[in-house]
Every structure is written in C-alpha cells, then in structure tokens.
Amino acid sequence: MSVGQKGIWVNPDEFVTFQEAKPPRKALFTEVATRSRAGDFSGFGMQLPNPDEVLRNLGQDITVYKRLLIDAHVGACVISRKAGTKSMSWDIDRRKAPARVYSFIEDLFADFDVKGIIGNILDAPLFGYQPMEVLWSAAGGSLAPTGLVGKPPSWFCFDPENRMRFKSMANPIGEELPPMKFLCPAHDATFENPYGFPLLSRCFWPVAFKKGGYKFWVQFTEKFGGAFAIGKHPRGTGQDEVDRLADMLEALVQSAIAVIPDDSSVEIKESAGKAASADIYERLLLFSDAQVSKALLGQTLTTEIGKTGGAYAASETHMQVRQEIVDGDTDLVIATYNALIRWVVDLNFGTGVPAPGFKMWREKQVSKDQADRDKLLSDTGQVEFTEQYFKREYNFQDGDIIVRPKPEPTPPPAAPAPAAAAPLEPDASEFSEPGGPGRDPAPDQTALDLAMSLAVQPKDLQAAAEPMLRPFIDLVRQGASIEAVMERLVETYPAMNLDELVKILERVLFVAGIWGRLHAGR
C-alpha cells in the first residue's frame, strides 16, 4: 500500500481503496431486471400474454367482457360512471405556451368531438386498456389530428418490452406500430401487467351467477307460482285414459277449463309456504347487482343503508366515493389529451416549445351556507363584494348581473344648539296634545330643540355596538359557518358589556316619544 492512499480495511488481511469500492458509472445506467433475463421465462416469445386470471381460467380473450355490457345493471353502472366525467366542463389552459401555439390548439379542439372521445377513453377502466388511433391530416403546411378513434383492445397485444403491437392477418404475433400514431390509456397498468386491470373482470362471476339465478327463479315461479291440479282416476284405468286426463289437467292450469270423465276427480292444492323460498333467488340477484355496483362505482347506495346508519349518511358516503372515482377517470382523460397536444406541438412548432394543457372541472354548485354567510357579511356594512366574486362563486356569466355601487348615506340635518337654560327633562306641559285649549297647533320649538339635542347619531350607535360585535365580524370574515358564529354568540353573550348600548337605546326611545307627541296632529 502506498503512503497516503485512502481506503478501508474490510478484514485484517484485505484493504480496499475508495476508488476500487466506487461502483462503475456504467452500471448505474443499465437496467438489470429485465424480462429477457428473468428466470420465469416471461419474456420468451414475441407476445406477452395477458395475465388476467378470469381470461386465463376461461381460456377466452378480452372479447368475453363485451358480452357483460348486455346486462342491464352492468350497462347502467357503466353509463353512470362515464356520465360523471363527460358532464364536466373542459377548456384549453394556455400555461406558458406562445400565443400562436395556444390559438392553434384551441382551433383544433373546437372541431373535436371531445365528449365522444372521452367516452372511448373511459373504456380503458372497463377493459384494462383502450388503444386510440390518431388520424392525421396535412393542411396549410401543418399536421393536425382529425380524429381520435378507439379500436378494439382484442386487436392488440404487448411485447416483452411493454410496447403495444397490432395483431394483423399478416403478423398474428403483432407488428410494430409507427410513432405518434397510437395512444393507449390504461387502468392501473404496471411493468408486470401493461394490459392494465379490467374492472369488468370483477363483474364476470356475479353476472354469471345472476343469469343462473334468473333461470332457476323462472322455473321456480312456473312450478310454485300457481296451484297444483291433482287428477284422480279409478284403479286399473288404461294408460291412454291417464294421459288424456293429464292433458285435461294441463289445459285446466293454463285456461282454468277442463272436461273430465264423471268417474274421475280433480283436487286443487295451493303451494303454501313456498313464497319464502322464492326470496332466496331474489337475494341472489340483489347480491350480484350489489357486487357489480361496487366493482364499477365503488359503492352501492341501496345495500349499504343499514351499515351507514341512514339514507342521508349512505348517500353522503356514496357520493364521496363516486367523486373519487370520477376524479381518477378525469385524470386519465386529461393525460391522454395532453399527450396528443404534446405530439401536435412537437410536429408543428418544435420539441422545445411549451405546450398548452387540457383541463376539466365541475361547475361549482351554489351553497346556501355560503349565500347566508355572504349576506351576513354584507349586512355588517363593512364588507362589499365585487362583480368578479359574484361571477366566480355564483356561476354568473358576463352580462348576467350589474353590481351597482353602494349609495352614500345622506348626512342628517345639523341640530340647532340647545339653549343654555334648557332643562334635561321636559316639563309635563310640553307633552299636551296639539290643538288643545290655549295651544298653537304647531309643535313647541323648545321641546323640538330638546329632542334634536338628545338625538342619537348613527355613528354613536355603531361606535357602541362595534366592540361588542367585533368577535363575530372577525369570524364571518374568516369564512366561519353560521353554526360556528351562533356557538360563539352563546359563549360570549354573558360577558358582553351592554351598558353603553342600553344608554343609547334609552335616548333613542325618549327622543322618539317626544317626536311622536309633537307631530301627532300634523
């Protein structure tokens, strides 16, 4: 070992320098765990098999899931799930894109069937993956997609490198696809399973059992839904006569009319106690539908009411889970459209040019609690809302409303200075009825001057009430709910100092009495 050489003794007889212990840089950039080197031979061959357990056990391809869409409950759940995303609003977000790029993308999407394409993209959660072919056209020196068409997933496969291939007649194993030609949104796709996870795989067995339940339920209904007709014939009757009697009984069951020999008899027996047995088939069908609802919508309202404590709680839980699923589907749609926008910008403006983005949102519903809060804020006289706020929070469009400025309050007339010797309390004679004996019909000027001197100005009342109401005004400005404000009012009321406010209110009542008496006869 040379002097000054840096390293570490890994054992008493071996010294490793730091340079030797440093891993080679080439190994950091090389993928080690690949299918071609894996011991399970998953990369053997040109086509990677779909690892779906249901398809593997059935020996079928993904087309078996399309037949499930015929079921009424499966179809309704699929429509409901897609509607949650298709009903959302969409727009093109400029971000940092140049104006010409933003304008180009806006014009492009104006000609797109955006909602229809969203419906095709949302087939990906149902089947695991959904190939989308981009149809390009050249016009005016630019390349622009004229459509985004969903193709059957059964036409495509993945190779050991997780690249999607088209299974053509010339190449059933799968031919390589050209670049910027196919988008493939997938649901929960992984390196091990690029085909994604199909939600319809969770619906296969519930639908299969439901079909079997329907069959046996119908047979049960035919057998026990009506009364039994029992025919009796004398011993030793020939087989032809027995068969003729059976035909008559069959006609009796269907038409309630039969003609039998006079030496035979018919007994009608009801299928008592079989109605409860029929409930077994109904529960099987309801259970199967519940499993389908959970698989596609994440929750089922009708079967979970008993567990959530009530219809309202069940609906709240249902909508919360549904909204989370809709958010996931929305992210899948946004990612697909953004990939298409990136291709368009790369082909027409260059790979380094910032691209706009596709965005979706749900129109905000006006909340009664928010409206009540805004009214409470406005009534304080210290908060004014702008036109921009009303448009944003209450979904108004340009031209829908006009926010007028709040008029300035008219200042009260100046009160004349009170006489120096004016008594604090008026004499009782001042309140004699106008028009009485020896009185002028006009109000007494001294009493009027006294009333004006004691008049309470609005600023005095506000100055006395504001410190008391300050905690509640602050709560409202912070966005607290009405319930929180009321709780604070109950907590604070015992500690309020109302003396100053009471004095002012007494003055108001006193002046009002004077003013009313002086003008009673006018």
- Amino acid letter at 454? L
> Is the CB of residue 396 less than 8 Å from the CB of residue 386?
no
Per-residue pLDDT of the chain (522 residues; tens, 9 = 90+): 444 566 777 677 777 665 555 556 666 777 777 777 676 656 566 788 888 999 988 888 899 999 999 999 999 999 999 999 999 999 999 999 999 999 999 999 998 899 999 999 999 999 999 999 999 999 888 999 998 999 999 999 999 889 999 999 999 889 999 999 999 999 999 999 999 999 999 999 999 888 877 776 666 666 655 566 666 767 767 777 777 777 777 776 655 555 556 556 666 565 555 555 667 777 888 888 999 999 998 876 644 444 444 455 556 666 777 888 999 999 999 999 999 999 999 999 999 899 999 999 987 766 677 788 888 887 777 777 787 787 777 777 777 777 766 666 566 665 555 554 444 444 444 444 444 444 444 445 555 565 555 555 556 656 666 666 666 666 666 666 666 666 666 666 565 556 666 676 676 666 666 666 666 655
CA 42, 48, 51, 54 torsion-angle sign: negative
Please classify residue 296 by burial: count the beta carbons closer than 10 Å to its beta carbon, then call 0-12 exposed, 13-18 middle and 19+ buried. Answer: buried
pLDDT of residue 122: 96
> Is the CB of residue 318 less than 8 Å from the CB of residue 301?
yes
Residue 333 has a CB neighbour count (10 Å cut-off) of: 23
pLDDT of residue 224: 59
Q: What is the DSSP string of 372-405?
A: HHHHHHHHTTS----HHHHHHHH-PPTTS---PP
Domain ranges of the chain: 231-264, 364-409, 425-522
pLDDT of residue 303: 42
- CA-closest candidate to residue 288, choices 216, 214, 215, 210: 210
Spell out a b/e string for 307-325, using b for 16 or more CB atoms within 10 Å of the CB, else e. Answer: ebeeeeebeebbeeebeeb
pLDDT of residue 65: 94
- Amino acid letter at 316? E
